[in-house]
Structure 1
Amino acid sequence: MSFSVESFVDSPKLSTLVPLKKADLSALAQHYKLEITSTMKKSDIRRLLVEHLVEEEIVSDDEDSLTSANVVELKKLELKDKEKERESQLKLKKMELKERDLTIQLKIKELELAAATATASPTPRRSDFDVSKHVRFVPPFQETEVDKYFLHFEKVASSLSWPREVWTLLLQSALLGKAREAYSALSVDQSSEYDTVKSAVLRAYELVPEAYRQKFRNSRKNDSQTYVEFARSKETLFDRWCVSKEVQKEFGKLRQLVLMEEFKNCLPTDIKTYLKIDTLHPPIKQHPYRLHPSKLAALRKEVQYMLKRGIVERSQSEWSSSCVLVPKADGSYRFCTDFRKVNTVTKSDSFPLPRVEDCIDSVGHSRYITKFDLLKGYW
């Protein structure tokens, strides 16, 4: 039976709204001049009509009781609409995933076709090389030891006599995480050059210089390694360390790197942190700041206090930074050094502080919390 807006206006009943289609509800909403859009759900239009009819007292009191009787049915319809929408979204996502898989497969086929038909390489075995038969021999990618992985891959490729022009094609099948992102960011021409792909992947996993230094120093020969392989691994780690320190085959920087390393080895073992200053920068010398006589007396008193307890020692260094006194809440002074100019040429390691929220959460279940007021906070 077809729905008529005029019939409903003559005899409005909320129960009539339950079986109506979206088109009928939209026509009725336009009659009552309600603001709706074509993207609105049928349940939203029905709820809007019910609210309007009740607020304008278009329905009778008896019909209000009928509304309560049809609440369950209305809820069922709303749940049914939501379920249909959820199913449609799920189908859409499945279609997107399927389309993405097809795109990846098409790209692999294109790469295989390009590898089979390329004429730039003079190697005669290229046309006879079947990539699909050799993919299973590619070693699994290891994100924790990227440098060693490339050594392993190159050894496998050389042992199996793979043409160098297909190395990137075989390598990309094993890349994961940041390595795959770095490979995807390259152009088509760059992605076919093994050295370019290798450099891009290594840059994606680039560590701080201190990490490369420790890897080089702590590297030891494994039982499964030959001495040639171990020497090659040491050479690679040393090169990565020099690149991170921007040595760039300059004797002066390499000399400074070795001297700094030997100096660190002579320091006491209880020294855990240090400043890495650009030692090629000329020494920074600052004249002492002028102080009020009262502050000057407090400064000399603090210096004698630190000298007596071995906190500081007299120095004849070429580097010199001014001292300042910062007033504290109790009226005394805090002895500080103005290192702002030194900080401009200082390369400090990144050790992020823990989040305050995490520290608070860690003591949230504690029964006793102790607070210490330290005499000196920095030594």
Structure 2
Amino acid sequence: MASGAVDLFIADPSLEGLLKLTKVDLLAVAANYGITTTKQSLKPVIVATISQHLLAHGVVASQEEEEDKDEEGLERVEVPPGSSPIRPEGGVGVESRVPLTLPKFQPSPEESGRSVETARLRLRVARLEADLRDKAERRQQEYELELRKLDIKRLEVETSKEIRKMEIQAETEVKIQIRQLELAAGVSSSPPVGREGPFDVGRNIAIVPPFRESEVDSHFSAFERVAGALHWPKEVWPLLLQCKLTGKAQEVVASLSLEESGQYDLVKAAVLRAYELVPEAYKQRFRNHRKSSNKMFVEFARDKESLFDRWCAASKASTYATLRELTLLEDFKSHLPDDIVVHLNEQKVTTVAHAAVMADEYALTHKTVFYPSTPTRGPRPSNSQAVRTSRAPAAQPSTRGPSKAERECFYCRLPGHLIADCPTLKAKPKAPLSPSRSKGVGFVSPKKPSVVYSPFLSKGWVSLCDEASQQPITILRDTGAAQSIIVSTSLPWSEKSYCGSHVLLTGIEMGTISVSLHWVYPSSSIVSGRVRVGVVPRLPVDGVSFLLGNDIAGGRVVPVPEVVDNPDPAYTGTETDSLFQDVPSRTTVLEHDIDVEDSKPIRMHPYRVNARKREEMRKETEYLRKNNMAVPSRSPWSSPCILVPKPDGTSRLCTDYRRVNAITVPDSYPMPRTDDCVDTIGSAVYVSKLDMLKGYWQVPLTPRASDISAFVTPDSFLQYSDPSPLRGSLIADSLFRGFS
């Protein structure tokens, strides 16, 4: 909605009125005249835009036009001919000369002030317009400059392309001309090996492939291809190769003699032998290579082909006959003992016939002459220990064990005969023969789990669904099992209970079996609800039908105690309340007295303590007064109090009776010795601790002892009614007498 100022401006538009409007009014004026502007623009920019539009369409006049109009508005007054001259008001006067124009307009002071302000605003608008024009011109100049730079770069790129193209064309033409001249002269492009100049090692060493210890065999293949293609002399091959070797290969070459290091074949064989890249190593790599999870089958097949080719190349199996011998020899070695295989590898046999002869010779040479009488666990004896050949002497005595004369009878344990010839067994009377009777049928008791599983056994129920009848089961909680399993005879399994998946289980024997998963509903003190378990024919623990693993039970090993809202305690007796209460009682067996003879009373002032200890002392004295352990005192005796920290972090209120003890007649009743107490309970199986609730407070004091026990704190002056800080071995001994 337009305001009143906007309506007044539209009725009488002027630059002065435009400058007096607010930003909101300026936007309304711009909308009225159809001028495009935005709210984000500054007010001077909006004023300049509206001013340019209004001036361009003649809605308002500029300052110069207004001044011209003012000058043109001044009327020119002329005296008509024949008229009388103007006379003064007095009547008759002298003829005066009338000016041709009206006098110049002199504005009032108020109008003059507004004109100055208007001029300032117009000057500001003009400056803003000039700034806008300058910025627009600068942006235009920068844009044109960027365009020129892009054109220059494009020309440079095109020029460089043309120059490179011309260079390549010129080089090609030169090469073609040289080749034509060589062909015309009948000269080969490669100079003969015998007539070329000295070989430049430093120039060609950069072409040698880099050496990597993980790809030693491929490095030699690449080096030989490069050397053959460039026609390098064979005598410089070892030198070029040694310049690129690193690690173990460099150490091996350094260990060779000067003559050996100059022969390429010896250097190559030594390096390959150092990295165990012999035919046997290639064979083991080929046989033991497995597909990894991050490789595709195409890559795995390519690796297998590469390893097989390297094995064949190392074994020099380039024809069908040699490949046949290699395959037969490997299969023949796979059926031999390890020691014979090692012997054949050391002899470097290459044919099956030679390997068979060498194996027979080794077996005859290392034939076993003694066999143990007791079987041993472990790998079976090698074939070399069980060789039986027809070439062995027929009359050779058997050495498989002791002779019959040395063997011991299993019945009487006497040497010299066997149990079949035992005279003691033959002399034993035989039972009379009785007619055969049919044997009765008995019931087999069910197998029970071992007692070692008792802490982890529990009873439960299981079913295939909630509505089905539940079957009783014995559950074993196995904290080392990752999968829960159940015996297949526990429930009638079907396709409805099948989960559609299997799981692989690995036992302690490191074997793996596939087990189908089914949904069941167990109900036990540890877990209940619908769970997924594996079904197996039997479990290794007799009497257990359900093995509960961590996948279902999680961290629960034993049943969780059940908490009820209304507890039902089994015993709520109150017969021992008087024995186990928090307030100490008072004994009537004896009273405690303090004998100071005729000594004068000792009076001391309280010790100075901080605010925290003072508050603790106040609480302790309040407790003593509340439980009648201390009463307000008027005694002439007075001893100060201190706070002694206890092991549990609290403090104990103690009275400093050192001055009183110095004049007190001591009690000669003996205190128990600590070492005697330790010796008494040293051999005991059970040790019981009997403690009294504030036992010293339960012994009353005589009136004289109560006055002497008076103590003072910063806030109170009391005296004990019970001998808490005094001696009490007599009452303690009388209470616990009879306990051993």
TM-score normalised to structure 1 length: 0.34
- Structure with the larger helix share: 1
- Structure with the larger strand share: 2
- Bigger relative contact order (CA 8 A; separation at least 6): 1
TM-score normalised to structure 2 length: 0.19
